[in-house]
Amino acid sequence: MVTRRDVCLLGALAPWLTACGGGSNGSNVIDKPEIDREQVIRTTIAPDDWPMAAPASQGIADTAMQTFLVDAATIPQMRSLLVVRNAQLIGERYYADALSSDLRHVRSATKTVSSLLIGLAIRDGKISGVNATLASLLPKELAQLPNSVAGTITLEQILQMRTGQAWDDDAHIPSMFTEPNLASLALSLPISGLNPPAWNYNSASSHLPSPILAHAYGLSELEVATRNLFEPLGIKQVAWSHDATGNNHGSFGLQMRTRDFLKLAWLALDGGQWQGHSVVPASWIASSLTSSANLSAFGSLTKIGYGYLWWTGTLGGHAISLAWGFGGQLAILVPDLRIAIATAMQWNIPLAQGEDSTNKLLSVIARFLQTLK
């Protein structure tokens, strides 16, 4: 079973939250206790950024969509569920007082955004390619750590979770939320010695795209993302926490609307294009969605693999790729159906409960996909 590991530490990120875009400036958190605990940022962004259509117009029975949205309501942690087919928004529902304008944590799906940004940095000539080593990507940081053995780790190994570093996400992830310098932590990890390195989910090393991007552009990851990804997609506001050095948390710190999370899914499904314009190179999307791992099943999700900070698998009889954050923050691509799905769920819950609610959500999605062709 794949273990999803970015366990929350309630309130730890709030002091280091940064925001961009219009609406509220990141400070207008509503005072409903259940929403406040989830660190939701309420904005005034209008829900006018997706063309909308009836499910039947896109080949899906209205009753099938209604059943899907109602079934999701049986999961207490459910907050939002959106479905797009052929670039048309055909299903959208919010639960438990959630609103379309809410900026919600996507948890470890932040890693997938970092992957998209790395692809753009390679396109822009800011990074030579996936074979670049940490010695060339983060020379100043490594110079401050003379005992580090991380210099030979390649960018591709980071993206594939194959750094060879000794790391147990379950044991160490809580400390990451208060760690003042996550890059230093990641660069100081010992190497396990396996050759070739085994796949190992590592939220420390997957933070490193953030300082790598900052070094490459001379901007924070948030600034790079705003200019190169969010603005082209019409994403008006996000929030992104950072450590004490100012580097955004590359593994877990992003908050955005589910409508915008869905844009990332459709972008990847459509080969890096948005509304007919290339935003991310199609070759990078293809490489990112190519699995280099063979992992065990997680409930309804089988044939699980891992690309460049993207998960892959089979769900409801269809090959999928997905960005996956703890507790059910999912952005799912179903290429053969030309469907993308995005969800938000309560995340600040114990690990076992988060695993269970995600499993239930995947089952609901699988049943829906099984009805489609």
Q: To the nearest whole number, what is the mean pLDDT of the chain?
A: 91
Q: How far is the C-alpha of 321 from the C-alpha of 130, rounded, in Å? A: 21
Mean pLDDT of 300-329: 98
- Angle (CA) 172 173 179, round 5°: 90
Mean pLDDT check: name the lowest of 2-6, 50-54, 101-105, 236-240.
2-6
Mean pLDDT of 130-158: 97
Per-residue tokens: 197: 């390195």
Mean pLDDT check: name the lowest of 36-40, 145-149, 329-333.
36-40
Q: Which residue has the tokens 């940004």?
A: 117
Greater confidence (9 vs 69) lies with: 69
Mean pLDDT of 89-113: 98
Position 15 scores a pLDDT of 31
Question: Could you tell me the fold of the domain covering 14-117+211-370?
Answer: Beta-lactamase (3.40.710)
Q: Is the pLDDT of residue 2 over 80?
A: no
Task: Tell me the HSE value of 194 on the side-chain side, using a 13 A CA sphere.
Answer: 11
Mean pLDDT of 32-58: 90
Per-residue tokens: 305: 């693999």
Q: Is 213 exposed, middle or buried (0-12, 13-18, 19+ CB in 10 A)?
A: buried
Model confidence pLDDT, tens digit, residues 253-306: 999 999 999 999 999 999 999 999 999 999 999 999 999 999 999 999 999 999
Mean pLDDT of 63-87: 98
Q: Is the pLDDT of residue 320 over 70?
A: yes
Q: Which helix (H) or strand (E) holds 358?
A: helix 351-370
Q: Is the pLDDT of residue 82 over 50?
A: yes
